[in-house]
Amino acid sequence: MDFAFSLLRQMRDSLRDLAPVVLVIGFFQLVVIRQPLPDSVQLFDLVSGLFFVVLGLTLFIKGLQLGLFPVGENLAQAFARKGSVFWLLVFAFALGFGSTVAEPALIAVAGKAAEAVAEGGLIAATETAQNQFAFNLRMVVAASVGTAVVVGVWRILTGWPLHLMIIAGYVIVLLLTLIAPQEIIGIAYDSGGVTTSTITVPLVTALGVGLATAIKGRNPMLDGFGLIAFASVMPIIFVLAYSLIMI
């Protein structure tokens, strides 16, 4: 019974996320655009699709809370206390990588990026080539978040100043932007924004807070955040570097 209630509550949250989007689009359709829907877009598909979005997001987040988060948080705390720097860094990378690979927003943007890159003629316009590009992009972004968490954990261990490292990251982004192919820049910058959402943030924050609590002289609030900040700069660097190597 409790479970059914919590599922319903989660569904209400997903609906609340969706409501502003539907209201704004509905307002513009009825008041500003005032045109019938084109034949390619069926109202039934839209409504049932929105239902799938809410249902999917509800199950997804609830499933994370039941399965992944408790185990992941336990592991993060166990590794934070274990005292082995090597295993801690290996785990940090795996956590960042694994939690980014299945990120819904990243899957969505990688698919769109592959279409655009194929239209732009950088890769063959076949479905295989597009799927391959989308897969590679997701792997590169996931590896970059893994690396970001490693760097962030290393920073917590050593106590290096955060803002200097972020500024260094920005400088690397700008230098790479100068030499990277123009076509990839937009995709690279956007990939920094899609990584920090549903799965990554709770798991990575658990690791940061666990570590900061276990080490004397570290502030949980400041250090948990540092990991997220790296996780939004590192993907830009990795995707730009990847484009330099591959294209």
Partner 1 sequence: MSFFVILLDTLLDILPIAAIIFGFQYLVIRKPIRHLPQVLAGFVMVLFGLAFFLQGLEQALFPMGELMALQLTSDQVLPQLASDLQRHWTDYYWVYIFAFTIGASTTIAEPSLIAVSIKAGEISGGTIDPLMLRIAVALGMAFGITLGTWRIVMGYPLHWFVLGAYILVIIQTLRSPKNIIPLAFDSGGVTTSTITVPIIAALGLGMATSIPGRSPIMDGFGMIALACLFPIITVMGYAQIAAWLEKRNGAPSPKTP
Region 150-179 residues binding partner 1, contact defined as CB under 8 A: 163, 166-167, 170, 173-174, 177
Among 80, 92, 113, 165, binds partner 1 (CB under 8 A): 113
Residue 108 lies near partner 1 (rule: CB under 8 A): yes
Q: What is the DSSP letter of 215?
A: S
Q: How is residue 157 written in tokens?
A: 């261990």
**How many CB atoms are closer than 10 A to CB 244?**
13
Among 132, 136, 154, 198, binds partner 1 (CB under 8 A): 198
Region 68-107 residues binding partner 1, contact defined as CB under 8 A: 68, 70-72, 74-75, 78-79, 87, 91, 94-95, 97-99, 101-102, 104-105, 107
Cite the beta strand spans of the chain per DSSP E.
none
Q: What is the DSSP letter of 38?
A: P
CB nearer to partner 1: pick between 154 and 189: 189
DSSP reduced 3-state for 216: coil
**How many CB atoms are closer than 10 A to CB 118?**
17
Is residue 154 within 8 A of residue 63, CB to CB? The reply is no
CB nearer to partner 1: pick between 48 and 215: 48
Half-sphere exposure of 85 (CA within 13 A, CB side): 8
Residue 55 lies near partner 1 (rule: CB under 8 A): yes
Region 2-41 residues binding partner 1, contact defined as CB under 8 A: 13, 16-21, 23-25, 28, 32-33, 35, 37-38, 40-41
Region 119-138 residues binding partner 1, contact defined as CB under 8 A: 119-120, 122
- Give the containing element (helix H, strand E) for 199: none
CB nearer to partner 1: pick between 116 and 214: 116
